[in-house]
Amino acid sequence: MLRVRCLRGGSRGAEAAHLIGDMAGRALSGWASRAFRNSSSSAAAHLPMDEPVHEHAHEECPVSAYNEWDPLEEVIVGRAENACVPPFTVEVKANTYEKYWPFYQQHGGNTFPKDHVKKAVAEIEEMCNILRHEGVTVRRPEPVDWSVEYKTPDFSSTGMYAAMPRDILMVVGNEIIEAPMAWRARFFEYRAYRPLIKEYFRRGAKWTTAPKPTMSDELYDQDYPIRTVEDRHKLAAQGKFVTTEFEPCFDAADFIRAGTDIFVQRSQVTNFMGIEWMRRHLAPTYKIHIISFKDPNPMHIDATFNIIGPGLVLSNPDRPCRQIDMFKKAGWTVATPPTPLIPDNHPLWMSSKWLSMNVLMLDEKRVMVDANEMTIQKMFENLGIKTIKVSIRHANSLGGGFHCWTTDVRRRGSLQSYFL
Contact 303, 401 (CB under 8 A): yes
The whole-angstrom distance between residue 238's C-alpha and the CA centroid of its chain comes to 26
Which positions are catalytic?
Answer: 251, 300, 404
d(CA 274, CA 321) in angstroms, rounded, equals 21
Contact 189, 181 (CB under 8 A): yes
d(CA 374, CA 376) in angstroms, rounded, equals 6
d(CA 207, CA 169) in angstroms, rounded, equals 10
Contact 392, 401 (CB under 8 A): yes
H or E stretch covering 175? strand 175-178
d(CA 88, CA 350) in angstroms, rounded, equals 12
d(CA 349, CA 104) in angstroms, rounded, equals 9
d(CA 156, CA 62) in angstroms, rounded, equals 37
Which three-class secondary structure state does DSSP give residue 295? coil
d(CA 315, CA 25) in angstroms, rounded, equals 44
Which three-class secondary structure state does DSSP give residue 264? strand
d(CA 82, CA 148) in angstroms, rounded, equals 11
List phi, psi (to 5°) of 218.
Answer: -65, -20
Contact 57, 17 (CB under 8 A): no
d(CA 11, CA 183) in angstroms, rounded, equals 39
The whole-angstrom distance between residue 86's C-alpha and the CA centroid of its chain comes to 19
DSSP alpha helix (H) spans, 283-346: 324-329
User: What are the Cα distances from residue 20, in Å, to 12, 27, 53, 65, 206?
Assistant: 12, 11, 19, 22, 16
Pairing of the two strands 261-264 and 255-258: antiparallel
